[in-house]
């Protein structure tokens, strides 16, 4: 039973990696930031749960068999970077709510656009620069994923 749960979690994590469009390097960075390990097969069930929760924070929507909901999260590189920076700030205690809804409200307050998928490239750059500056002020070092 334990092996079955572990393999299902690993499968879900790989679905999340694909859905979020994470390249291998960014994926391994997410794994390492959550667990200190770079391979899902070396993780415990608790560590796999932590990785899955992180992917959900990044916008991964686990679809149930009832597919009535539609996931309209932006998955372009700029949006993924914005989510990454937002969650780095959340993990550092600088942001109270790491949810997609809270991020959308932050973006709306900065550039009057209601969600990441509606950002122009110019507005996305503005948000990225703002979040990077915030990270630097807080002493967060690793803020540049390699897919940029």
Q: Where in the chain are the domains?
A: 2-57, 77-137
> How much is the pTM?
0.51
Instruction: State residue 86 phi and psi, 5-degree precision.
Output: -60, -45
Q: What is the tens place of the pLDDT at every residue in 113-143? A: 888 888 888 999 999 999 999 999 988 876 5
| Cα(116)–Cα(64) distance, integer angstroms | 24
DSSP code of residue 47: H
What's the average model confidence in pLDDT over 82-108? 90
Task: Note the residue count of the chain.
Answer: 148
Q: What is the tens place of the pLDDT at every residue in 48-78? A: 999 998 898 888 887 654 444 445 677 788 8
Q: Which two tokens stand for residue 28?
A: 């391994």
């Amino acid at each position: 039973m334990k092996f079955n749960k572990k393999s299902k979690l690993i499968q879900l994590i790989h679905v999340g990696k694909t859905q979020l469009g994470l390249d291998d390097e960014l994926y391994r960075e997410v794994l390492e930031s959550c667990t200190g390990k770079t391979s899902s097969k070396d993780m415990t069930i608790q560590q796999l749960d932590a990785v899955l929760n992180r992917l959900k924070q990044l916008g991964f929507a686990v679809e149930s068999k009832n597919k009535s909901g539609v996931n309209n999260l932006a998955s372009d590189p700029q949006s993924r970077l914005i989510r990454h920076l937002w969650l780095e700030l959340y993990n550092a205690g600088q942001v109270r709510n790491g949810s997609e809804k809270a991020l959308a409200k932050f973006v709306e307050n900065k550039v009057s656009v209601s969600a990441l998928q509606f950002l122009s490239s110019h507005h996305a750059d503005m948000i990225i620069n703002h979040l990077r500056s915030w990270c630097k002020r807080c002493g967060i070092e690793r803020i540049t994923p390699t897919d940029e």
